[in-house]
């Protein structure tokens, strides 16, 4: 297993790039890379040449913090610091819906694997908001219960700020990570909080389930570690260390054999899950790497694995994963 640099698009955006996601392939086009940036635009890129697939999409204020693509590849969503989520049609760039939340109550987003629900990390609301993807109405809000140890004299009011969210591949479980380092796991169908996963004490900025096993959850945290949890059994399986600074993003490869991480130490690392160690470090970026994303399988005649990373240095890098 290794990564090979394919192409780097310098100055892909006018400002720091903060978010990336792959729009899955549809019948009449291959998969596209979706990126969001501080320059308030969302852009679509063709692989492997990283050429713009559409004119920049506007409609945001204060910088795009998160992008997500529907598994069908038809619809995508982007969220910005002003707490609006814009849902748009990938082909035509026409707005489908604008989802509004109170200020500071939108952070990362992810579509449910079947695409019926959009889960949004609810920031200072200490909950995960679930939006129905047909009516675009808020259907549920999974709140993190207060931990008993928090004292009533604490004036921060719970103090939880939900940063990241991840769906298990079977769509039954939802995990969310908070600013204080707790990871909460929910049973989505019963809309019930199950348990916390302990081990982090700093912001958990990214979460991803293994595509093969609905029990295995990976978390990227400011404490420079990546944890591998048994999300059902509440166990910490492994703690992967190697980054020199905050780990900002984690994604699992479609074959389930590796994960990639991006960090504010400006590197992208590839981790072999059987060895539980970092096997490769990419240093193509000159500033912190905000997001890494593996291309989902599918599409006409595409077998090769692709990994994209975006960074504060305004560039996008594309790697071949094999």
Site residues (vs another protein, CB under 8 A): 15-16, 18, 38, 61-63, 65, 81-84, 98, 100, 102-104, 107, 123-124, 153, 155, 157, 159, 161, 163, 179, 290, 312
Nearer to another protein, 47 or 164 (CB): 164
Task: State the nearest-atom distance from the C-beta of 111 to another protein, in Å.
Answer: 21
d(CA 140, CA 132): 9
Longest dimension (CA), the chain: 60
Nearer to another protein, 82 or 230 (CB): 82
Nearer to another protein, 5 or 103 (CB): 103
Task: State the nearest-atom distance from the C-beta of 163 to another protein, in Å.
Answer: 7
236 vs 47, 97, 112, 215, 290, CA distance in Å?
37, 39, 25, 12, 25
Pair of tokens at residue 161:
């700020």
Nearer to another protein, 37 or 110 (CB): 37
Task: State the nearest-atom distance from the C-beta of 311 to another protein, in Å.
Answer: 13
Task: State the nearest-atom distance from the C-beta of 236 to another protein, in Å.
Answer: 24
Question: Which residues are CB-neighbours of 190 under 8 A, at least 6 positions away?
Answer: none
Pair of tokens at residue 263:
């960090």
Task: State the nearest-atom distance from the C-beta of 81 to another protein, in Å.
Answer: 6
C-alpha of 93 from chain center: 22
> Closest by alpha carbon to 90, among 113, 103, 74, 72?
74
d(CA 183, CA 168): 14
Nearer to another protein, 17 or 258 (CB): 17
């Amino acid at each position: 297993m290794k990564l090979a640099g394919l192409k780097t698009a310098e100055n892909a955006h006018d400002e720091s790039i903060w978010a990336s996601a792959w729009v899955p392939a549809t019948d009449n086009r291959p998969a596209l890379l979706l990126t969001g940036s501080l320059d308030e635009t969302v852009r679509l890129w063709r692989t492997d040449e990283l050429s713009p697939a559409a004119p920049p999409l506007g409609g945001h204020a204060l910088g795009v913090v998160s992008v997500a693509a529907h598994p069908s590849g038809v619809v995508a969503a982007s969220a910005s610091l002003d707490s609006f989520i814009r849902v748009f049609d990938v082909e035509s760039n026409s707005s489908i819906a604008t989802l509004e939340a109170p200020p500071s109550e939108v952070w990362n987003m992810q579509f449910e694997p079947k695409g019926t629900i959009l889960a949004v990390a609810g920031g200072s609301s200490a909950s995960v908001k679930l939006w129905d993807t047909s009516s675009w109405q808020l259907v549920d809000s999974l709140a993190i219960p207060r931990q008993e140890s928090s004292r009533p004299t604490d004036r921060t009011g719970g103090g939880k700020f939900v940063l990241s969210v991840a769906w298990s591949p079977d769509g039954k479980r939802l995990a969310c990570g908070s600013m204080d380092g707790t990871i909460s796991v929910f049973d989505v169908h019963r809309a019930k909080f199950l348990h916390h996963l302990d081990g982090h004490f700093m912001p958990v900025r990214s979460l991803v389930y293994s595509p093969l096993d609905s029990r295995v959850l990976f978390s990227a945290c400011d404490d420079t570690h990546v944890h591998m949890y048994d999300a059902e059994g509440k166990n910490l399986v492994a703690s992967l260390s190697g980054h020199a600074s905050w780990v900002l993003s984690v994604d699992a490869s479609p074959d389930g054999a590796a994960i990639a991480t991006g960090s504010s130490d400006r590197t992208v690392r590839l981790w072999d899950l059987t060895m539980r160690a970092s096997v490769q470090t990419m240093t193509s970026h000159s500033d912190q790497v905000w997001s890494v994303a593996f291309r989902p399988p599918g599409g006409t005649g595409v077998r090769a694995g692709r990994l994209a990373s975006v960074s504060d240095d305004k560039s996008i890098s594309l790697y071949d994963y094999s």
